[in-house]
Chain A
């Protein structure tokens, strides 16, 4: 004897539930693909940012900073100490915009900026013979509390 309920087919509710499940699964996969792409982009940004931070440190390490023949301290404008908060806001002489390769942009950043590099130079003791340098690179534009992509620090000592 046939069961009349076994031949009734699929209800619209069942079809909707099945479709919802499928859409959820498809959405989940799509989300994973998107996240994978975001992580890849982020990893590339951090690579460029780390090397850009290192580049600024190296440039400051290469600046001649010595004593003169009389033994007096000879100042180097590039190693002047920064005002407080130079890593949190743009301070003239202690920040620059970078292109996607981590190279400094000349002139105002119009469309081409990808990163922002800020650095701080603070005294160790009185700063006459040693200074600490910290460099941070942010994704452009660096809004108020956005965390940096990379930060590096070093100590520069005056050469004899």
Chain B
């Protein structure tokens, strides 16, 4: 019988092995615990960054893509600025672009005025007998509550909400008076109009938010710390083609009117409007040239989009800068933070807003930034 037990050497070896295994297990457990906490937070940060970037890019692509609504000459994109960089979403205007306004056509109503609007508050009587009016039970596809844009080829446009639809009279009545009484042939088109920007929350964080035309605020992405928007536009004014054969076609923006066509607003000379002047019968652009960059575009600052020339004319209630038609590309830079402060270190280059993670770098989830560009209207 052998009842001698462990020798001291065996005990020491066994203890050392046990200690090594326990130490490794503890280290692994600590690492795993940290990893299980940090990885989901990091993945969530990247997910929100991607979703925010894609949402903004998608809205810009949808708006800039325009719509075939037009008579083969003018179109929604050539008659209405579909994208507007803003210096503020809701508050006091700033000195750089931090928000954006988009207008994009939707699969809804589409028609043209059959008779002049009796006044800015009057109903819009649509031509249901001819294209492009959709053959539906509703008037050209419009229904109560729809958002629509009405525009002409001289730069007038209004966004309206449909308050009433009369199938018998082929009329669509806006909920509020428009800024202008539109004439025969003006286009009416169902659209979606949104503003995108950051809204500060009670805890100091900011949320990428969409504000609809009706004023509904739709939070899209939480924990956004920066939204930078750079607007690039065509450096050269639009050339006018085929002017010898007719009124001519502008490369972008409003096409020239017929040479002898009077201005219904009595602001411009015959054959001219906010974007086109005429020297004799030859059309020329009112836009000034900018110095083009390497890619043929010029960086547009807020002042460039708020100094005119104004369309449809200076003094109109909804006047806008004709340089908006130059817009060709929007660069976006979105920066997102981890939502829980326990993963944010001290404020600085790595963290826009400081957190409670102090110096514990392995538990940090850094702010993530993403840059992208969106071409408009191509």
Contact = CB atoms under 8 A, between A and B. Distances in A.
Interface stretch (B2-10, B87-95, B163-171): B2-10
Contacts, number: 122
Interface in B282-324: 294-297
Interface stretch (A9-17, A120-128, A138-146): A9-17
Nearest to A10: B14
Nearest to B9: A12
Contacts of A59: 295, 329, 373, 375
Interface stretch (B42-50, B201-209, B269-277): B42-50
B28 interface: yes
Nearest to A30: B28
A66 B35 contact: no
A40 B35 CA distance: 11
Contact of A23 (B24, B32, B239, B328): B24
A8 B7 CA distance: 12
A55 B371 contact: yes
Secondary structure call for the B interface: mixed
Nearest to A103: B371
Interface in B21-50: 21, 24-25, 28, 31-32, 35, 39, 42-43, 46, 49-50
B372 A54 contact: yes
B343 interface: no
Contact of A64 (B294, B296, B369): B296
Interface of B: 1-3, 5-6, 10, 13-14, 17-18, 20-21, 24-25, 28, 31-32, 35, 39, 42-43, 46, 49-50, 53, 57, 232, 234, 236, 239, 241, 251, 294-297, 328-329, 333, 368-376, 378
Interface of A: 2, 4, 7-10, 12, 15-16, 19, 22-23, 26, 29-30, 33, 36-37, 40, 43-44, 47-48, 51-52, 54-56, 58-64, 66, 68-69, 76-78, 100-103, 159-160
Given A47-B50, A59-B329, 14 more contacts: A4-B3, A7-B1, A7-B2, A15-B14, A15-B17, A16-B17, A26-B24, A33-B28, A37-B35, A40-B43, A58-B375, A62-B328, A62-B376, A101-B370
14 contacts: A8-B2, A12-B10, A12-B13, A15-B17, A19-B17, A26-B21, A30-B28, A40-B43, A55-B373, A61-B378, A64-B296, A66-B251, A78-B294, A160-B241
